[in-house]
Structure 1
Amino acid sequence: MKTDYLLPHIFRKIGWFVFIPCWVMIIVSWLGINNWFDDDWLSFVTLHIGNLGFFTPEQEGHSFLYFAREDMFSEIIYCLAFVSLYMIAFSKEKVEDEFVEHLRMRSLVWALKVNTIFFVIFTWFCFGMVYVTLLLLSMFSIFLLFHFRFLYELHRRRIHNEE
């Protein structure tokens, strides 16, 4: 059985250790109490790609590619949360056999189906910043749906001794 895409089991704990504070900071920033996040110590020059003018009319003079100083705190937190969810979802179990691999595959397909249904519903019924926020959540939800479905199926099968 080839599981070279899986990380060692210890990464699950590391992932939870990183994800929980990141998720708290994301929620706090969404609630608008993020004055202490807006520091210049995480602000540096970055490459801006894709200025179309109608999204940011105050920057119409810039070309498609340009450099500018940006506060990168939220980007760093989102990337840390995303990578930590990857570590949680794709860490090996203590016993990794064909049964676990089969459950992992079924859970991943289920999570993709559910996430696709959510995406279609969001696209049809949500607009503006609500839509953008829900798209951002769907980026995280695929890993969470997969991981919790996998754990549920694993627990249910072990209880019923279907291994």
Structure 2
Amino acid sequence: MEPNYLLPNKYKIPGWLLLISGIIGGMFLIASDFESDILQVKVLALYDDNSFLSNQNGQFFKIIENSILDEIIALFIIIGGLLVSFSREKVEDEFIYKLRKDSFVWAMIFNYLILMLAIVFVYNLSFFNVLVYNMFTPLLFFIARFNFLKSRV
């Protein structure tokens, strides 16, 4: 059975470049406490309430000044992860299809088990950080598991 949702194999290398550079950039931002004035530009905010903990009423469709470095890094991780995950292997047979499917199921179960533990044991703003990282973990778990299983064959 040939899955028709997969991209050509040539997208795998650009995907790895984006993914690895995004992860390195993300680790740099975490190490520097997310304080970045690099790439400070005016952007359209669909909703802005000025502060996460403010009592002010928010505004829709507002132009704000924001550093877009963290958004670019997040997009690198997501786009790179999708390209790596959904690019064909050089030999895409039924065994690779089964590895891909099993890795996806494993990644989802593992991801939500970790999220359930975080719901029970992590609180306040730290939980918000867990949710931010949780955007990336399904892709990363899938890629790690799929490549691990593929290397064992």
TM-score greater than 0.5 by the shorter chain: yes
In 2, are the aligned partners of 1:85 and 1:143 still within 8 Å (CA)? Answer: yes
| Percent pairwise identity | 26
Distance in 2, Cα, partners of 1:61 & 1:137: 28
Describe the shift of the 1:56–1:46 C-alpha distance in structure 2 as closer, same or farther (beyond 3 A): farther
Q: How many residues were matched structurally?
A: 153
Shift in Å, 1:150? 1.4
1:161 is aligned to: none
Counterpart contact for 1:89–1:144, Cα < 8 Å? no
SS at match of 2:140: helix
SS at match of 2:8: coil
Q: Which structure would you say has the larger Rg?
A: 1
> 1:100-111, aligned counterparts within 5 Å?
100-111=96-107
Alignment CA distance shift 1:95-1:134 (3 Å): same
1-structure distance, mates of 2:30, 2:88 = 33
8 A Cα contact 1:50 1:64, kept in partner: yes
CA contact (8 A) 1:111 1:142 kept: yes
Describe the superposition over 1:13-72 as per-residue Cα deviations: whole angstroms up to 9, x where unpaired: 11111222221221111112666x413x44122123263x883428x2543443322221
1:121 aligns with 2:114: no
More helix per residue: 1
**Structure 1 residues 4, 50: CA separation in 2 closer, same or farther (over 3 Å shift)?**
farther
- State the partner residue of 1:151: 147
**Structure 1, residues 79-128: CA drift from partner, whole Å, max 9, x if none?**
11111011111111110011211111111001100001001011111122
Map residues 1-163 of structure 1 onto 2, 5 A cutoff.
Answer: 1-32=1-32, 37-39=36-38, 41-49=39-47, 51=49, 55-57=52-54, 60=56, 62-156=58-152, 158=153
The answer on whether the counterparts of 2:47 and 2:58 sit within 8 Å (CA) in structure 1 is: no
Following the alignment from structure 2 to structure 1, what is the Cα–Cα distance between the partners of residues 61 and 74? 23
Provide the rounded CA distance (Å) in 2 between the counterparts of 1:121 and 1:103.
Answer: 27
Of 72-81 and 128-137, more deviation after overlay is shown by: 128-137
Determine the C-alpha separation between the residues in 2 that align with 1:28 and 1:86.
22
Q: Distance in 2 between matches of 1:151 and 1:22?
A: 19
